[in-house]
Each structure stands twice: as structure tokens, then as C-alpha cells.
Amino acid sequence: MQKVGFFRSIHVKFVLIYVMLILIAMEIIGLYFARELEQNMKSNFTTSIDDRMSLVEFSVREEMMKKRAADDPMTLEKSLQAVLSSFKSEDINEVRVINAGNIILATSALNNISMVGQRSADDIVRKSNASKTPYDIINLDRKTGNRILVRATPIVVGDEVKGILYLEANIEKVFKQIDEVNRILAGGVAVSLSITIILGILIAQTMTRPISDMRRQAQAMAKGNFSRKVRVYGNDEMGQLAIAFNHLTNQLQESQSSTESERRKLASVLENMTDGVIATDRKGRVSLINDSALLMLRLTRDLVLNRPISSILGFEQEYAFEDLIQVKESIALDFSTEDQPYILRANFSVTQRETGFVNGLIVVLHDNTEQEKIDMERREFVSNVSHELRTPLTTMRSYLEALADGAWKNEEIAPSFLHVTQTETERMIRLVNDLLKLSRMDSRDYDLNKEWVEFNYFFKSIIGRFEFSKSQEVQFIRLLSSSELFVEIDTDKMTQVLDNIISNALKYSPDGGDIRFGITMSEDFIKVMISDDGMGIPQANVKRIFDRFYRADRARSRAMGGTGLGLAIAREMILAHGGEIWAESEEGKGTTIFFTLPFELQEDGEWG
């Protein structure tokens, strides 16, 4: 399961957002409260100062407006000093009276009596004197380090400034009270935040626990595990979401099971199809191929997947993928070599969405080699039969027309014409009979009447019959086994096999030549050999001598009455007995025919 980072967790995000919202709200409230408190306390302090200084200001104004006699011992400075000396306050550190010329006339601070008569250097005094308005400023006392309120208030009589009332008040106590209140407020905020964080965690857990369960279930579903269920904690929106999620899980499980079942069926169908199936994506690259298609194309899967279909099928020069989409007919793929034909046929089907968007192609490959061979053999067979029948029929028609025109009256040529007609008729009968035999064998419309025969005796009897009736000077050489070889065969059909092979050997053996007969034995079969010293067969045509109507020397075979079907019949009969037949030949040195028959030698040495 993939782990979520601490700060990426929705639980932590929820708590952080909740705490930040509370913190921002408290900060706003705290700042507003601190600012209002500071302004209120400063306002109260200044109001208190104003209330106490109003009497002093009145007394100073009266003294400065009073007219004095020349002999009056109470000068203005003394009277002002007397007024200020009588003023006492814990908050006010010093009060000064300064005339319009910025000369200090009196001070309430006894330690600053020496400043009386000197010019004031304070900017606030000059500003207040010039603007006729009071000024306030908070400075830092250099001696004590406390903050003090400095105020300069002009004493105006009419439109004339008579002087400035300057005072310094200790406002540090107010700031200490503000700091104490701020500390209390900060402590309250810290306690409130602690409680808020605890409540936020508890509330976040109730909100995020179902989401975490659904996340774990979604991750399990992504791995194919649909057995887990999300716990329902209530009937609120989260509970309804959990119920819907569990229902979705059940639906997905059913869909997954159905999809997997269909996938297995499709895979089984594809794997067991004899036809090759190839699927491509929308760009024409191979995305799926079954084993039958790989065998047909003689490629491996890693060489096929993700490659263009045109390149795989070998016609990238003729067809692009866009062309294959439009192909309606099947396309023949010729992979034939000089030695062996190999032809496939490809059928194309386009896969599309409902909107018509092409998703890809489905290509079905069918091995058409045998069908092509059958069609070719059928055409060749019809051509050969037509040729074989046309020659005797043409001959018979010519001779019959001659007889009909009066040649039958000629006693010298009429018997010759009738003999030729009879010979050609017998040849056509043999041809038709051979064709009927092959037809029955092709359709398996025959039964083998097998019996146990000692093959040496059986073989010798057939050789003797040919040796007795042969006309040319050919020597028979027997290379037979001295052991008794009992095999289970159909003697009639095996006689036809040996007659056809020996007849061919006699036809092509020259006078003075040899025909050799041999038998060898193994545990599983006996091998029969019939060899001649004839003209032989070209190496390229050796495998064709068992084809129907094939003749090594057509003119000689037809002259001897051959139909070209003897070895084809022999092959079918040997195969019916469970054996094999083949030929070995060298041009100019003769031909050897081999065939095998099943044979089983028992452990006790007896035949079986």
C-alpha cells in the first residue's frame, strides 16, 4: 500500500486548516482588542492628566494676565513658581511654564530650578508656540529608561500666545498594564489553541476515518481484492458514501468476475483455434497474437508485438494500415520456397466504437497450402485424365471412321484396325478401374481383409510368377531373409502393390540388366526393396513418382499400356497397411523402391 506523506494527509490538512482558521480569528480579535485597549488606556491617562492640569493652566493664565506694580515684590517668575510648587501628582514628573519667547519661567521640579531663565530647546515647544495648538509626544526617559508623555499646551489670551505649559508625565505604568493584558490574552489564546487542536484532531478523525477506509479499500480493489468492505460509522453523508462505496465494490467484483470469465473463454478460444488471430491497436501495431498465428508466420512473440501489421505480414510495400482498413476481400500471403509451397490467406475485420472511431484490426490467418495443393492436384488430375482418355478415344475414332468408310471390307487391314481398337478399349478399362480403386481408397470405401502370411514365401511366389512370364533378358536376384517373417496383410492388395512395382522395374530395365529383391528386418517393421538398372529418375522428380499420372518416360509407358497410376495405388495401399513407401534413384543408374510393413517380434522369439 502506498504511504501518504504526513503533511499530505487529509487528516493533518483538516486539523491544520481548522487550527489556522481559529488562530487567525484569535489573532484578529487579539489585535483589535489590544489596539482598542491601548487607545482606551492612553485616552484615560491623558484625560486624567487634562483634568488635573486644567486648574494649573487656569492659575498660570491668571498670573500671566495679572498687572503688577513696580514695587510689588512678587514677580511673575516667583508667582508662577509658587503656583507650580503647590502642584503635586504621582504621574506628572515635571511642569514648566515657558513664555512666548521660549524662556523657561518656572518649573515644578526642584532639581531643575537652574533651568529657569534659560531658553527651551524642545521642538515640541516651538511647534506649539508657532501653531497655537497643543502637541503630544511619547519619549524615553534617559535617566530611568521609562516612557514619558511630553505635552506642550499653548496659553492663549485672545489671539495672542502668552506662553507654553510644558509637562512630562510617567506613562510607563499604562504600557505595563497593556503588556500584562497582552500576556493574559496570549495565555488565553495558547490555552484556546490547545483545546482547539485536541477538538480538531477528534473532529478530523470522525471525518477522515471513513475516507481512510475507502482509500485502503480502493487500493485493495486496484490489486484485485474485492473482499474488504468499508465500515459504516453513521447515517450522515459519509455513511451514505460508505454504503454506496460498498455497493460499488460488489458491482465491480461481479463485473470483474464476468470480465475474467469472458477473458478466459476468449483466451481459450484463441489458443485452441486452428486459425491464426492477430489484433492491432488504432495505429496498426500488433497488440495480441495467438500461438497458431505465430506458428503460421514462423515467428516468436517478442518479434511480433508492437510491430506494424503490414511488416509482419510482408506486404508493407503494397498496403499501408489505412489501406487494410478498406480491404473487403481476403489477401493471399505466399511464403512458398522452391522446395515447399506455403500459402496463407488473411481476412481483415475492423473494430470500431459506436462513434465510428477505428480501434484497430482483427486479422484471421488460414493455412491455405493444402487447399491450394488440392486445387492444383485436381486441375492436374482432370487435365491428365482428359489427356489419357483423349489419346485412345482419338485413335479409336480414327480407326472406326476408317472401318465405317469401307476399310472393314479389306481383309488385310480390317483385323489390324479392330485389334488396335480392342487394345485401346482395354487400356481405357484399365485406366477407369485404376481410377475407381484410387477413388475408393481416397474415400476409405474399402476393407482390408488381413491375414497372417509368411512374407518370404508370399514374396517369392510373386517374383516367380514374373520371372516365368518375363519376355526380356533380365536377371532376378533374390536377397531375401532366411527367417520366417509372418506379417498381417491383405494379400490381394499387397499383390497389386508388388505387381505394380515389379512391372515398372521390368518396363524400365534394359536387356541384360538386373532386378534385385531384398528384405531386411527390425523390431518394428520389415523393409522390402525392389531395385532395377533402368534409366533412373532426375533427383528433382524422385518424390513425384508416386503422384498420379506421373511417368518418368511418358512415351515408353504409354506404349507399354501404362496408366501412370500404379505407384500412386501402391502408395495408398501401403499407407493403409500402416507402412511407408519411398524411392531412391540416380539418373542413368536405376531406381530402388522401398516400402515397410509393421512387424512385431515377441520376446520369446515367436512372431506376433
CATH of the domain at 527: 3.30.565.10
Least confident of 125-129, 469-473, 520-524, 570-574: 469-473
Question: Residue 324 is part of a domain; what is its CATH number?
Answer: 3.30.450.20
Q: Is the dihedral of CA 546, 549, 551, 556 positive or negative?
A: positive
Angle at Cα 205 formed by Cα 201 and Cα 211, nearest 5°?
Answer: 140
- What is the total count of domains within the chain? 5
Query: Residue 165 domain-assigned?
Result: yes
Which residues lie closer than 8 Å to 68 by C-beta, 6 or more apart?
74, 75, 76
C-alpha cell read off for 409: 471390307
Q: What average pLDDT does this structure show over 118-127?
A: 84
The sign one gets for the Cα dihedral 432, 530, 458, 570 is: negative
| 422 and 503 share one domain | no
Residue 464 is predicted with a pLDDT of 87
Q: Do 461 and 540 fall into the same domain?
A: yes
- Cα 314 to Cα 90: distance, rounded to the nearest angstrom: 111
Total count of residues recorded for the chain? 608
pLDDT at 9: 65
Which one of 250, 272, 294 terminates a domain? 272
Q: Which three three-digit cell numbers place residue 351?
A: 473494430
Indicate if 238 and 335 belong to the same structural domain.
no
Residue 205 within any structural domain of the chain: no
Give residue-wise pLDDT tens across range 208-266.
777 777 777 777 777 777 777 777 777 777 778 878 878 888 888 788 788 888 878 87
Whole-number pLDDT of residue 558: 46
Determine, yes or no, domain membership for 204. no
SS (H, E, C) 136-191: EEEEECCCCCCEEEEEEEEEEECCEEEEEEEEEEECHHHHHHHHHHHHHHHHHHHH
Closest of 106, 126, 123 to residue 59, by C-alpha: 106
Mean pLDDT of 292-321: 85
The answer to whether position 200 is within a domain reads no
Does residue 90 sit within a domain? yes
Q: Compute φ and ψ for 89, nearest 5 degrees.
A: -160, 140
Of residues 79, 87, 81, the one with CA closest to residue 62: 79
> What is the percentage of the chain residues whose pLDDT exceeds 90?
4
Q: Of 139-143, 391-395, 531-535, which one has max mean pLDDT?
A: 531-535
Q: Are residues 397 and 530 in the same domain?
A: no
Q: Minimum mean pLDDT among 106-120, 167-181, 540-554: which range?
A: 540-554
Q: What is the pLDDT of residues 487-515, one digit of tens each?
A: 999 888 888 888 888 888 888 888 888 89
- Domain carrying residue 136: 11-177
148, 141 contact by CB (below 8 A): yes
This prediction's pTM: 0.41
Q: Which of 443, 521, 447, 519 is nearest to 490 (CA)?
A: 447
DSSP annotation of 318: T
Q: Which residue has the higher pLDDT, 114 or 305?
A: 305
The least confident of 2-16, 56-70, 362-376, 582-596 is 2-16
* Choice among 372-376, 457-461, 522-526 with the minimum mean pLDDT: 372-376
> Is 583 in the same domain as 464?
yes
- Asked if 87 and 105 sit in the same domain, the reply is yes
Span 334-356, mean pLDDT? Answer: 81
- What pLDDT shows up at residue 431? 67
Average pLDDT over residues 345-368: 83
pLDDT in tens, 553-586: 544 444 444 556 778 878 888 888 889 999 998 8
Q: How far apart are CA 574 and CA 576, in angstroms?
A: 5
pLDDT of 603 strictly over 70: no
Alpha helices (H) in 478-521, listed in sequence order = 491-508
Q: What is the per-residue pLDDT for 51?
A: 79
* Selection from 453, 456, 461 nearest residue 487 by Cα: 453
pLDDT at 471: 65
Q: Is the pLDDT of residue 70 over 70?
A: no
> Which segment of 119-128, 204-213, 358-367, 501-510 scores lowest on mean pLDDT?
204-213
Instruction: Work out the pLDDT band at 607, boundaries 50, 70, 90.
Output: very low
Report the distance separating Cα 446 and Cα 466, nearest Å: 27
Q: What percent of the chain has pLDDT over 70?
A: 87
pLDDT given at position 227 = 73
Looking at the fold, whether 29 and 163 belong to one and the same domain comes out as yes
For residue 210, being part of any structural domain is answered with: no
Per-residue model confidence (pLDDT) at position 125: 84
Q: How far is 478 from 304, CA to CA, in rounded Å?
A: 58
- Through-space distance between the first and last CA atoms of the chain, rounded to whole angstroms: 70
74 has pLDDT over 70: no
What is the separation of C-alpha 405 from the centre of its chain, rounded to a whole number of angstroms? 86
The reported pLDDT for the residue numbered 385 is 66
What is the pLDDT at residue 561?
47
Q: Judging by DSSP bridges, how do beta strands 92-99 and 147-157 pair with one another?
A: unpaired
- 298 domain residue, yes or no: yes
366 Cβ partners below 8 Å, 6+ apart? Answer: 275, 276, 344, 345, 346, 347
Residue 181: half-sphere exposure toward Cβ, Cα within 13 Å: 16
Model confidence band, residue 387 (pLDDT cutoffs 50, 70, 90):
low
Instruction: Give yes or no: residues 414 and 480 share one domain.
Output: no
Cα gap 124→130, rounded to integer Å: 10
Residues 136 and 79 grouped into a single domain: yes
| Predicted local confidence at residue 345, as pLDDT | 86
- Cell for 334? 505466399
With beta carbons less than 8 A apart as the criterion, state whether 276 and 348 touch: no
pLDDT, the chain, mean: 79
Identify the band that residue 594 occupies on the pLDDT scale cut at 50, 70 and 90.
Answer: very high
Q: Residue 597 has what pLDDT?
A: 92
DSSP state of 113: G
